[in-house]
Amino acid sequence: MKLLVFHIGQDRYGLRLGAVQRVLPLMELKRLPLAPQAVAGLMNLHGIVVPVIDLARLGGGAASAEHVDTRIVVVDYVSPEGGVHALGLLAERVLGVQELDEHALAGSGVQAAPFLGQVAGDGAGMVQLVELARLLPPDLRATLFQAQSGDAAP
């Protein structure tokens, strides 16, 4: 399995490459007053407004650091209702694509952030999967995709 590998703080994480639309350089985002802390802002992607989530903040840490290799990873986020939305993920120190043997994956044995999945060791240490299906809690998902889904309450 191919993963896009990046850091959240000092630790390495990976996204399945099939969900990644593109990897963009860090850009200025439209800030959203009173938005949840995990929302880094909005970006304009060829005329489409895309919300951007700071993965470090979503995981309960400090805001992502602006390294030379901090990127916005645009993914296809599929909501539990089946809607597909473009979603930007602010990710520190994007390392690139790495091949990982699926058989090497194992449960972490620790119930941490709900979006963290299995782990595997490699020559550089451990990498943990970020599970997009579990990435956004319901309240944050409703905040981000309310206008697009048309599910706003009357």
| DSSP H helices in the chain | 55-58, 138-149
% residues pLDDT > 70 (the chain)? 94
CATH number of 2-149: 2.40.50.180
Of 105, 125, 133, nearest in space to 18 by CA: 133
Lowest mean pLDDT among 34-38, 45-49, 143-147: 143-147
Is the CB of residue 61 less than 8 Å from the CB of residue 11? no
Q: Does pTM surpass 0.95?
A: no
With b for 16 or more beta-carbon neighbours within 10 A and e for fewer, the 80-108 pattern comes to: eeeeebbbbbbbbbbbeebebeeeebeee
pLDDT digits (tens, 9 = 90+) for 52-98: 999 989 888 888 888 888 999 999 998 888 888 999 999 988 989 98
